[in-house]
Amino acid sequence: MRTIDTLGYPIVVSSGGLAEVARIVEERAPSHRYVIITDDNVASHYLDHVSASLIEGSGRGVTSDRVHTVVIPAGEEHKTRERWSAITDTLLAYGCGRDTAIIALGGGVIGDLAGFVAATYMRGIPVVQIPTTLLAMVDASVGGKTAVDTPAGKNTVGAFHPPAAVMIDPATLASLPARELRSGLAEVIKHGVIADRSVIDEVEAIMPALLAARALGAALEPMIERSVRIKADVVAADERELGLRKVLNFGHTIGHGVEAASDYVLLHGEAIAIGMVAEARLAENLGIATVGTAAAIEDAVTRAGLPSRAPDGMAADRVLALMRSDKKQRRGVLEYSLPKRMGEMAGESSGWAIAVDDSIALEVLRALANRE
Ligand SMILES: NC(=O)c1ccc[n+]([C@@H]2O[C@H](COP(=O)([O-])OP(=O)(O)OC[C@H]3O[C@@H](n4cnc5c(N)ncnc54)[C@H](O)[C@@H]3O)[C@@H](O)[C@H]2O)c1
Ligand SMILES: [Zn+2]
């Protein structure tokens, strides 16, 4: 078991940790009622286990009538205001008061949605995050951002609501589809690029186990811990994303454009892998990054089984147009978080965001599309 404590709430990485849910919940979010919010995929694997370990592991006599469950269909299309409102109504119907804690059991969709319910219910009640995808473990569950999507865009309505605790049980990754697992590795690689290149060696070291035996669990603890620590350190320095937290957007300006241009056929991490390679190339072209940075990132994402080039037929101007409709703009000029070299980001003097003219970005996007 490893605990990261830099954010004021514990982030526990423990294979088999689901069995310890009662301990962490009672320590960090002792409440009269508990509501476990999850999706139908995750529920079929882990809901009974989590609710049983909450009831049976309780030292304070949590009885089954005090543990409610809300199961929604899986998928980003359910991260909506409508779901938020329906879940809130369910809590009201159960008679949940301020002495209620939410347990968010699932991937980033559940973490964001259940977190937003917790942020707003009775002006804010505790949430314990139990992430079950690699992406949610190393990224979404850490840092306190919660949100829902609207027709105007992803995460357009939300709140900062730090969790009371995060319980990461890598053993839950055994049931995660391999493609989702690889997608999560993109964020781990991103953490390596922004702060510590040795994290990338860690990814390479666990790849065989990850792809072959699926001998997950304890073997993944060190990689997850290091990745979480990097994100936690960045968030601790800048919780509200006024400056340094922007480095976490590396790969995401182009990545979001690529993700949207694929009509979300690409998973988030796949698009980010492509975005990281492209943005590193952009940084090299601008003379910001050491030559070879993009090649090193391309090598890392390829070894992780992630794509590094845009799919055939993806037009550069469409990607750019979609990047422009995303939100990271300052006075109409697109901004990027760019690396200096592996393990170090550029842009400290400009708030870690670098404005780049579209014509320069277009060159990189065209090369990306043409598979140069
Ligand atoms: N709040 C933040 O800081 C933050 C950061 C990054 C991403 N996000 C959000 O996270 C979301 C993406 O998260 P995601 O990639 O985890 O997607 P997701 O929650 O949709 O999970 C992916 C799929 O895996 C299934 N699943 C989850 N855990 C499983 C398990 N252990 N076994 C089997 N199946 C399992 C889910 O049901 C789903 O079908 C996006 O909405 C994104 O905006 C938020
Ligand atoms: Zn991301």
Kindly identify the ligand whose nearest atom is closest to the C-alpha of 109: 1
Q: Are 273 and 306 in contact (CB under 8 A)?
A: yes
- pTM (two decimals): 0.96
269 CA distance to ligand 2 middle (Å): 6
Predicted pLDDT at 213: 56
Catalytically annotated residue among 191, 256, 309, 341:
256
- In whole angstroms, give the CA distance from residue 198 to residue 109: 29
> Which protein residue's CA is at the shortest distance from atom 39 of ligand 1?
74
The residue whose C-alpha atom lies closest to atom 2 belonging to ligand 1 is: 140
252 is catalytic: yes
Short-list 301, 303, 294, CA closest to 367: 294
Q: Which two tokens stand for residue 297?
A: 């990132």
From 37, 110, 148, 180, give the residue whose CB has the most ligand 1 atoms within 8 Å, as the site to mutate.
180
Those residues of the chain that have pLDDT short of 50 are: 372
How many other CB atoms are found less than 10 A from the CB of residue 364? 23
Q: Is 129 in the pocket of ligand 1 (CB under 6 A)?
A: no
pLDDT of residue 176: 94
- Residue 325's pLDDT is 85
For residue 217, the model assigns a pLDDT of 83
239 in contact with ligand 1, CB cutoff 6 A: no
Is 231 considered catalytic here? yes
Tokens of 32: 């009269």
pLDDT for 245-290, tens place per residue?
999 999 999 999 999 999 999 999 999 999 999 999 999 999 999 9
Would you say the CB of residue 162 lies under 6 angstroms from ligand 1?
no
Ligand 2: distance of its center to the CA of 111 in Å?
14
Instruction: State in Å: Cα 141 to ligand 1 middle.
Output: 10
pLDDT at 350: 87
pLDDT of residue 240: 87
pLDDT at 212: 64
pLDDT of residue 73: 98
**Tokens in use for 231?**
């994100």
What separation in angstroms does the CA of 240 have from each of 130, 234, 352, 353?
22, 11, 14, 15
- State which of 18, 41, 105, 155 you would mutate to test the pocket of ligand 1, scoring each by most atoms of that ligand within 8 A of its C-beta: 41
**Range list of H helices, the chain:** 21-28, 40-42, 48-56, 81-94, 108-120, 134-135, 178-195, 198-211, 221-237, 252-261, 268-285, 293-303, 316-325, 358-370
Task: List C-alpha distances in Å: 51 to 64, 141, 266, 285, 298.
Answer: 8, 20, 34, 53, 42
Residue 192 CA to ligand 2 centre (angstroms): 14
How much is the CA Rg of the chain, to the nearest whole Å? Answer: 20
Ordered structural domains, the chain, with CATH: 2-175 (3.40.50.1970), 178-370 (1.20.1090.10)
Q: What is the Cβ-side half-sphere exposure of residue 82, based on CA atoms within 13 angstroms?
A: 6
Closest C-alpha among 298, 308, 282, 302 to residue 364: 282
| Ligand 2 centroid from CA 251, angstroms | 8
Can you give the pLDDT at residue 200? 94
